[in-house]
Amino acid sequence: MSAKRGAGIARPWLLMVPAVALLLIFLVIPYINIVLMSFRTPGTGTPYGVGFTIDNYLRFFSDSFYLFQVFNTLWIGALTTALCLIIGFPVAWQLARGDMRFRGLAYGLVLSPLLVGIVIRSYGWTILLGNAGLINRTLQALGIIDSPLPLMYNALGITIALVHVFLPFMILPIMAAIQGVDPSLESAARSLGASRFTAFRRIILPLSMPGIQAGCILVFVLSLSAYVTPSLIGGLRVKTMAVTVVDALIDTFQWPWGSALALMLSVTGAVCVLIFARLTRMKWKVARS
């Protein structure tokens, strides 16, 4: 038995070759390129000039405008993540444990945002949120407000649209995690004297933590790097880092500067993810003999 197993997967790393090759070619090499690029001097008529410099980073840290923009981006990401979690968890719970009859329908509804292109969805939100949009006009027609509420061209609008776009990425991993929790654990907790709520808080919630963690990291990272939604809804008024990076690269053709900005976003995002993962670390997952 053990001999057979040994022969069957004699070189388990062979199975990883395709994945490693993909990562190397499409992630690591471009990343190295970006890091190098971020230390180059600006060029005229060429992507970059001669020699290396740390000016790009000095510019970033000396201009509070960019620091504020990073902060703003992280804030929108965190807010989007929190809202997705609050809205998504009950939905994930229903999908995992709810009535079988409605599960198919609910599943379809959850996935539906993914079936429509992101540009179309974001335009949809501009129709709803704009000053002459559906929400404002309805509220005005009903006499609830006099002047339009500022729903677009601000962080709130971006967050609302991002929550809609990324909700499935929160719901699906949490749903999978809850489905993985044996329902008899809840019965066991009840028989030991726990109310439904206590059983949920002490047993179900911690055991679905891996899904919550995965969902939060996914949504947060996706929000930080989102481009289409913030640029359509934020317009020229509110810019997230991703939008600024693209401006630098495409509009003003400042490749070294854009690379430095992109890296600062990556680094701060990664730090946030690490801190989050550390805070939500599950001791019992680590403890395997």
Query: In angstroms, what is the minimal distance from the CB of 90 to another protein?
Result: 22
- Give the burial string for 55-71 (b: 16+ CB within 10 Å, else e): ebeeebeeeeebeebbe
Specify the 3-state DSSP secondary structure of 137.
helix
Report if residue 188 touches another protein, rule: CB under 8 A.
yes
Regarding 277 and contact with another protein (CB under 8 A), the answer is: no
For residue 117, give the 3-state DSSP assignment. Answer: coil
Q: How far is the CB of 192 from another protein (least distance, A)?
A: 4
Does residue 206 touch another protein according to CB under 8 A? yes
Q: For another protein, which is the closer residue by CB, 141 or 279?
A: 279
Look at residue 177 and give its three-state secondary structure.
helix
Stretch that binds another protein, among 9-17, 70-78, 202-210, 264-272 (CB under 8 A): 202-210
Residue 192 binds to another protein (criterion: CB under 8 A): yes
> Which of residues 98 and 210 has its CB atom nearest to another protein in the complex?
210
Q: Quick one: which of 189, 218, 245, 248 contacts another protein (CB under 8 A)? A: 189
User: Does 184 sit near another protein (CB under 8 A)?
Assistant: yes
- Residue 44's SS3 state is coil
Q: Buried b vs exposed e over 153-180: b needs ≥16 C-beta within 10 Å?
A: bebbbbbbbbbbbbbbbbbbbbbbbbee
Contact call for residue 175 and another protein (CB under 8 A): no
Contact pick of 35, 108, 182, 252 for another protein (by CB under 8 A): 182
| Least distance from another protein to the Cβ atom of residue 99, Å | 15
Q: CB of residue 100 vs another protein: minimum separation in angstroms?
A: 14
Determine, following the binding rule CB under 8 A, whether residue 280 of this chain makes contact with another protein: no
Between residues 112 and 198, which has the closer beta carbon with respect to another protein? 198
Q: Give the closest residue to 70 by CA, choosing from 61, 81, 79.
A: 61
- CB count within 10 Å of CB 272 equals 18
Stretch that binds another protein, among 24-32, 161-169, 236-244, 276-284 (CB under 8 A): 276-284
Annotate 197-247 with DSSP letters as a single string.
Answer: HHHIIIIIHHHTHHHHHHHHHHHHHHHHH--HHHHHHHTTTS--HHHHHHI
Rounded Cα–Cα distance for residues 132 and 50 (Å): 50
Q: Does 97 bind another protein (CB under 8 A)?
A: no
Give the distance from CA 205 to its chain's centroid.
21
Binding residue (CB under 8 A) for another protein from 6, 193, 236, 279: 193
Interaction site with another protein (CB under 8 A): 182, 184-185, 187-195, 198, 202-203, 206-207, 282-284, 287-289
